[in-house]
C-alpha cells in the first residue's frame, strides 16, 4: 500500500510540474519544464549524496576509526542481504542519523556524535537498521527526486510570475497568458502544493522504514526506544547545520529542526507517538522483550516465516 501511495504522490508532483509549465508557456512551456526536470534529476541522481554529506561535514569512518559503529552496520547488512554502504560520522550534539545514495550499491549512512554518545548499542542498531531500510527500499533516490522536482516547481513558478504575465494566447488559444495576478498566484500556490506532496511522500516512507528497520535489527523495541530518546533530544539540542539547510530535514530519522511534528500537511516526519506505537505493536504481536532478537537463520517452514509474515519467495525471513 505504501509503495502504491508513493507512486501516486510522485505522479501527482510530476503532473503538477508539467501543468505549471503548460500554464506558463503552453505546450512549449510544458516541454521546457520536462527538460528542466530531467536535467535536475540527472544531476541529483549522481551528486546529491556527495552534496549532502559535504554540507554536514560528514567524515567517513572504518573499522579502525569507529569499530563499534562499523561492526553494527556490517552485522545489519549481513542480516538484510545488502551491500555494505559507506559509513560516516557527523560532528553534532543532536542525536540523529540519515541515509543517502542513489541505490544500495552506492549508499552511505551517517550518524551524529550525539547519537553515538547518548544511545545504547541496541538503540544505535535500531536506528542504523532504519537507515538501511531506507537504502533497501530506495527511499534515498525517491526523496532526492521529490526534493529536486519541488525545487524546480518553485523555480519555474517564479519564472512564470516575472516573465509569463505578459504572454498572450495564439490564434488557436494556446499559450501561457496567465496575467500578472495569475503569475503571482502560481508563484505562491505551486511551491506550497509541491511541498505538501513532498512531505506526504516523506511521511509514507518513514513508516515503511520503521517497519523494515525493525525486521532488519530483529527487535522493534530497540528502534521504538531510540525514537523516543531522539525525539526528546531534538526539543533541546539544536542542529545548526540543519537549521541552515532546512530542505534536507526530511533525510533525518527525526526532524532536526524541531522536536514537535504532527501528521499534518506540512510536517516532514510522522507523529512520533504513532511511529512508536506501531513498533511496540509489532513487538507485542511477536511476544518480544528487550533482550529478544528475531533469528534470521534457519527460518521455520510453513506459510509464515516469522512473527511478521511470509517472506518474499526465495529469500530469507526478512531479506
The residue assigned the cell 530531467 is 38
- Closest to 175 (Cα-Cα) out of 24, 315, 308: 24
- Closest to 150 (Cα-Cα) out of 282, 41, 23, 311: 41
Q: At what angle do helices 2-55 and 179-217 cross, to 10 degrees?
A: 90
Which of 131, 206, 212, 231 is an active site residue? 131
**For the residues of the chain, what is the DSSP string, one character each?**
-HHHHHHHHHHHHHHHHHHHHHHHHHHHHHHHHHHHHHHHHHHHHHHHHHHHHHHTT-EEE-TTT-HHHHHHHHHHHHHHT-PPPEEEEE--SS--EEEEESSGGGEEEEEEHHHHHHS-HHHHHHHHHHHHHHHHTTHHHHHHHHHHHHHHHHHHHHHHHHHSTT----TTS-S---HHHHHHHHHHHHHHHHHHHHHHHHHHHHHHHHHHHHHHHS-HHHHHHHHHHHHHHHHHS--HHHHH-GGGGGGBSS-SS-S---SSTT-SS--HHHHHHHHHHHHHHHT--TT-----SSPPPSS--STT-PPPTTS-S--
- Residues with Cβ < 8 Å from 34, sequence gap 6 or more? 18, 21
Instruction: Say whether 131 is catalytic.
Output: yes
Which active-site residues does the annotation give?
131
Amino acid at each position: 500500500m505504501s509503495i502504491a501511495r508513493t507512486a501516486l504522490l510522485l505522479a501527482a508532483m510530476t503532473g503538477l510540474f508539467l501543468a505549471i509549465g503548460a500554464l506558463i508557456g503552453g505546450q512549449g512551456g510544458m516541454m521546457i519544464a520536462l527538460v528542466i526536470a530531467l536535467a535536475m534529476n540527472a544531476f541529483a541522481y549522481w551528486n546529491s549524496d556527495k552534496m549532502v554529506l559535504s554540507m554536514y561535514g560528514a567524515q567517513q569512518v572504518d573499522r579502525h576509526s569507529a569499530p563499534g559503529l562499523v561492526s553494527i552496520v556490517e552485522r545489519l547488512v549481513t542480516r538484510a542481504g545488502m551491500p555494505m554502504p559507506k559509513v560516516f560520522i557527523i560532528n553534532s550534539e543532536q542525536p540523529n542519523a540519515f541515509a543517502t545514495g542513489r541505490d544500495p550499491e552506492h549508499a552511505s549512512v551517517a550518524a551524529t556524535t550525539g547519537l553515538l554518545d547518548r544511545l545504547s548499542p541496541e538503540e544505535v542498531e535500531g536506528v542504523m537498521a532504519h537507515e538501511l531500510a531506507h537504502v533497501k527500499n530506495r527511499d534515498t533516490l525517491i526523496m532526492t527526486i521529490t526534493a529536486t522536482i519541488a525545487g524546480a516547481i518553485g523555480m519555474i513558478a517564479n519564472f512564470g510570475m516575472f516573465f509569463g504575465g505578459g504572454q498572450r494566447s495564439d490564434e488557436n488559444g494556446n499559450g501561457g497568458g496567465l496575467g500578472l495576478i495569475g503569475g503571482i498566484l502560481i508563484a505562491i500556490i505551486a511551491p506550497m502544493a509541491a511541498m505538501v506532496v513532498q512531505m506526504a511522500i516523506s511521511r509514507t516512507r518513514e513508516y515503511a522504514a520503521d517497519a523494515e528497520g525493525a525486521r532488519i535489527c530483529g527487535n522493534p523495541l530497540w528502534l521504538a526506544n531510540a525514537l523516543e530518546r531522539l525525539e526528546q533530544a531534538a526539543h533541546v539540542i539544536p542542529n545548526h547545520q540543519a537549521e541552515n539547510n532546512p530542505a534536507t530535514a526530511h533525510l533525518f530519522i527525526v526532524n532536526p529542526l524541531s522536536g514537535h511534528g504532527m501528521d499534518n500537511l506540512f510536517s516532514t516526519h510522522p507523529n512520533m507517538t504513532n511511529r512508536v506505537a506501531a513498533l511496540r505493536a509489532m513487538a507485542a504481536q511477536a511476544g518480544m522483550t528487550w533482550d529478544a532478537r528475531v533469528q534470521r537463520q534457519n527460518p521455520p517452514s510453513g506459510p509464515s516465516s516469522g512473527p511478521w509474515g511470509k517472506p518474499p519467495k526465495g529469500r530469507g525471513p526478512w531479506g
